[in-house]
């Protein structure tokens, strides 16, 4: 089936992206300097593979049948020894497994993003607090989603009961509890994670073009939210095809999440590779480090300068080397007050600064 081929193509591309990320991080910082998200990401890839296989089994082995979308008459008339009864029971069991893998995969990717932002905000106390809140929020929302899937229907075996009708809570294919318990925490956490880097991007001293490109890079989560909403609506409205269609959209959402999560990490490596083959125009260039120009009226303030250093991430901070990308944007500088212009001057000072940094990675 075309849908099965699509799912496995997405899986192959997703795993390729994850492998590319691991290779990029290895080249940038070395395996001994891997951070927690570098280990979580391959685990997310394994969960993605298992979820894809579960989605395939629902249609390939069990004909897309579950204990949903049946009238009371159909349930009563179904022979417990028939193949259809067997398919509906096992199809429902796979749905429970699929929901669990789906939530686990999404939240593993979210934790990778939060850990990534933890490095991004090193040295920024107010944003570091928001990252810590993200860890707590992700932990609580994952417990809500996973426990709703596993404990929303009691006993657990009612999730694959055919007769009598176990009720919507125990029909995992289109359980409204499952849909809402995953959808709303999914959207809330995505929006919260998006709110962490955007304020930082807004204050850095870079061109508007560069700001827009970086905001677009980090705003890919909007596509993840759209995929999650589409999946929820599809499950609630698809009818008898809900089991197969919902599983397909679960794979699509995780695939989009893999791209969005890894792109900020591998983008510097892609830019380097493009430059080597003469395609550097595909990526926006950052402003080069240049002499600073200050007016006297701003001589006592502090600003942000742009400098370049091999081995740092586009949004890393000075004296950090855990990023492993190719440039550093946010560097806080304080003007030398000893060079304050004399009174009566035009209040214009032109100074040249050199920033020397050390990369121990």
Map tokens 């020894």 to a residue: 81
Q: Angle formed by the axes of helices 221-237 and 242-276, to 10°?
A: 160
**Do residues 325 and 313 lie in contact, with contact meaning Cβ atoms separated by under 8 Å?**
yes
- 165 has pLDDT over 80: yes
- DSSP string computed for 244-291: HHHHHHHHHHHHHHHHHHHHHHHHHHHHHHHHHTT-GGGSPPPPPP--
User: What is the phi/psi pair of residue 41, to 5°?
Assistant: -60, -45
In terms of Cβ atoms closer than 10 Å to its own Cβ (0-12, 13-18, 19+), residue 254 is: buried
| pLDDT band of 348, cuts 50, 70, 90 | low
User: Among 82-91, 248-257, 264-273, whose mean pLDDT is lowest?
Assistant: 264-273
What would the pLDDT profile of 12-67 be if each residue is shown by its tens digit? 999 999 999 999 999 889 999 999 999 999 999 999 999 999 999 999 999 999 99
- Which residues 6+ apart lie within 8 Å of 183 measured at CB? 228, 229, 232
pTM for the structure as a whole: 0.78
Listed in order, strand segments (DSSP E) in the chain are 292-295, 303-307, 328-333, 348-351
Mean per-residue pLDDT, 72-88:
96
| pLDDT band of 296, cuts 50, 70, 90 | very low
Residue 243 CB coordination number (10 Å): 29
Residue 124 in 3-state DSSP?
A: coil
């Amino acid at each position: 089936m075309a849908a099965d081929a699509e799912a496995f193509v997405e899986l192959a591309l997703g795993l390729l992206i994850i492998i590319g990320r691991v290779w990029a991080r290895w080249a940038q910082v070395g395996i001994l300097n891997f951070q927690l998200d570098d280990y979580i990401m391959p685990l997310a890839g394994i969960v993605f593979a298992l979820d894809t296989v579960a989605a395939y089994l629902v249609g390939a082995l069990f004909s897309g049948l579950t204990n949903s979308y049946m009238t009371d008459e159909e349930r009563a008339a179904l022979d417990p020894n028939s193949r259809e009864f067997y398919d509906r029971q096992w199809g429902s069991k796979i749905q429970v497994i699929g929901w669990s893998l789906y939530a686990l995969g999404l939240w593993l990717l979210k934790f990778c993003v939060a850990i990534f932002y933890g490095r991004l905000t090193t040295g920024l106390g107010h944003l570091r607090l928001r990252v810590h809140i993200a860890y707590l929020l992700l932990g609580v929302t994952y417990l809500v989603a996973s426990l709703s899937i596993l404990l929303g229907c009691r006993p657990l075996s009612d999730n694959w009961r055919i007769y009598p009708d176990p009720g919507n809570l125990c029909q995992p294919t289109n359980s409204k509890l499952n849909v809402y318990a995953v959808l709303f925490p999914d959207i809330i956490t995505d929006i919260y994670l998006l709110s962490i880097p955007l304020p930082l991007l807004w204050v850095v001293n870079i061109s508007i073009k560069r700001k827009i490109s970086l905001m677009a890079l980090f705003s890919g989560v909007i596509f993840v939210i759209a995929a999650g909403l589409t999946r929820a609506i599809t499950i609630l409205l698809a009818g008898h095809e809900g089991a197969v269609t919902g599983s397909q959209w679960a794979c699509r959402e995780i695939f989009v999440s893999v791209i969005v999560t890894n792109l900020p990490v591998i983008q510097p490596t892609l830019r380097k590779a493009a430059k080597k083959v003469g395609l550097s125009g595909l990526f926006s260039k950052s402003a080069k480090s240049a002499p600073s120009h200050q007016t006297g009226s701003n001589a006592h303030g502090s600003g942000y300068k742009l400098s370049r250093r091999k081995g740092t991430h586009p949004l890393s901070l000075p004296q950090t080397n855990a990023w492993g990308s190719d440039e550093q944007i946010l560097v806080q500088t304080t003007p030398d007050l000893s060079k304050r212009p004399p009174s009566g001057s035009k209040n214009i000072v032109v100074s040249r600064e050199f920033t020397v940094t050390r990369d121990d990675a």
